[in-house]
Amino acid sequence: MKVAAGQFAVTSDCEKNIQLCIHYMRVAHAAGVDLLVLPEALLARDDNDPDLSVKSAQPLEGPFVSALCKASAGNDMTTFLTIHVPTTPGRAANTQIALRNGEIVAVYQKIHLYDAFSMQESRLVDAGATVAPMLNVAGMNVGMMTCYDLRFPEMALSLALAGADIIVLPAAWVRGALKEHHWATLLAARALDSTCYVIAAGECGNKNIGQSRVIDPLGVTIAAAAESPALIVTEVTAERVNAAREKLPVLAHRRFAPPALL
């Protein structure tokens, strides 16, 4: 099937961000894409106000998601992205959703919060407690992870053991010393840990690196973007997953008990 990752700079204007998302959805659909991944925290972002994503939080039935659902009506392309959804006053959940044919077909609340490199996501964001169930897209099983989840190999392994062929990863990977190296290394490592495709979309604003990538089950980068807005498109196949697992049967060779799904 055909997959894509779209990256752009999220603005402080929620309406503009809606239009950016819809633009990428339309371009991807016109290209025959079955699965599109967009970046993390798409409601609003401001370099001078790190809390804007939470301050702008909307419920899933709010205008942001409603507009994207309307834009997705009438086609079977599945789009993955994250927004902040209110929990208690002043707090929110970093929530990944999958949209298809006008509906939300999967929801995942980010489990691992980015309390690292002098940042503290948990200050205003509540962690999730469960992984999302597998979502079938064009005959392949898709597992959902978000940004900092990438640093936890047991999560990718859990998804693979639950049947994932593909792992999607909306992200807003913060710039910094060695961070681009971490991103590239971890994406390849998670693909190899799980023998899954990894489709990662990175926000490419002033503070984040962009660098969206599609990695195949043997750790090979098959599509990549730089730091500017872009849509990358490529093909993935179940046959490649099966062949990788025959050549590299790490899932079958495990000598430790599998990590438990939350």
Q: Determine whether 61 is an active site residue.
A: no
Question: What would the 3-class secondary structure string for 137-194 be?
Answer: ECCEEEEECCHHHHHCHHHHHHHHHCCCCEEEEEECCECCCCHHHHHHHHHHHHHHHH
| Cα 66 from Cα 158, distance rounded (Å) | 31
| Phi and psi angles of residue 139, each rounded to the nearest 5 degrees, phi first | 85, 0
The one catalytic residue in 14, 40, 121, 203 is 40
Q: Determine whether 69 is an active site residue.
A: no
Answer for the pair 159, 95: CB distance below 8 angstroms, yes or no. Answer: no
Which has the closest alpha carbon to 91: 41, 132, 57?
57
The one catalytic residue in 110, 121, 196, 204 is 110
The one catalytic residue in 21, 69, 147, 196 is 147
Q: Determine whether 110 is an active site residue.
A: yes
Q: Tell me the residue type at 180.
A: E
Q: Compute CA distances 190 → 32, 86, 91, 150, whole Å.
A: 27, 30, 30, 7
Q: Compute CA distances 257 → 107, 156, 158, whole Å.
A: 27, 15, 11
Answer for the pair 84, 43: CB distance below 8 angstroms, yes or no. Answer: yes
Q: Which residues are catalytic?
A: 40, 110, 147
